[in-house]
């Protein structure tokens, strides 16, 4: 089962790290390492940008509950 759940305050730090990892992976897969255009050291999208997005809107996590047979 897949659910869309509002971001809990306790999940904020992991959410930021997950987003940075996803943006880095996506950019490198799509464009390769053409230049060093990073918002902050080693990150395509900065912590500040993600935090501003969270604070100005609504953030959700996509959650998948695994069945016992999948675990």
Q: Minimal CA–CA distance to 24: which of 51, 49, 42? A: 42
Q: What is the mean pLDDT of residues 2-8?
A: 94
Q: pTM value?
A: 0.70
- Give ∠ CA 63-65-67 in degrees, rounded to 5: 165
pLDDT in tens, 36-57: 566 666 788 889 999 999 999 9
Question: Which pLDDT score, from 0 to 100, does residue 1 have?
Answer: 87
Distance between CA 6 and CA 69 in Å, rounded? 27
| Paired residues of 2 in beta bridges | 64
Q: Minimal CA–CA distance to 39: which of 16, 57, 62? A: 16
């Amino acid at each position: 089962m897949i659910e869309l759940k509002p971001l809990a305050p306790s999940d904020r730090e992991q959410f930021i790290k997950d987003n940075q990892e996803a943006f880095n992976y996506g950019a490198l897969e799509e464009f390769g390492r053409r230049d060093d255009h990073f918002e902050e050291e080693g990150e395509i999208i900065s912590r500040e940008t993600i935090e501003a997005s969270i604070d100005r809107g609504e953030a959700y996590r996509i959650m998948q509950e695994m069945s016992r047979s999948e675990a």
